Amino acid sequence: MRRPALAAVLMLGLVAPATAQTAADSGPVTRAEIRELIEAAQATAKASRENVEYSRVVPDLLFQILAKLDKIEDKLDKVETTIKAEKNTQKKR
């Protein structure tokens, strides 16, 4: 007799909060709430598209910047080589 009573009390203890929560949440959904959800979904989609575009564009820009830096570095190396060569010729004289 004790086991069924204990099981019933335990079951009521677990089911009552869940039942109360679903009863409070199951109210009718208004058009304004649906509109807000749709606007939030649209904003999320827009942000996702922008993120994808950004992730496509940034590597291209970085590649272009690195290519230009390589060209500048090559030119600086040529200038340094020329300056060193001039100093060596002046020292020999």
pTM, 2 dp: 0.41
The residue type of 44 is T
Buried b (16+ CB within 10 A) or exposed e, 12-39: eeeeeeeeeeeeeeeeeeeeeeeeeeee
pLDDT digits (tens, 9 = 90+) for 24-81: 556 678 999 999 999 999 999 999 988 888 877 778 888 899 999 999 999 999 999 9
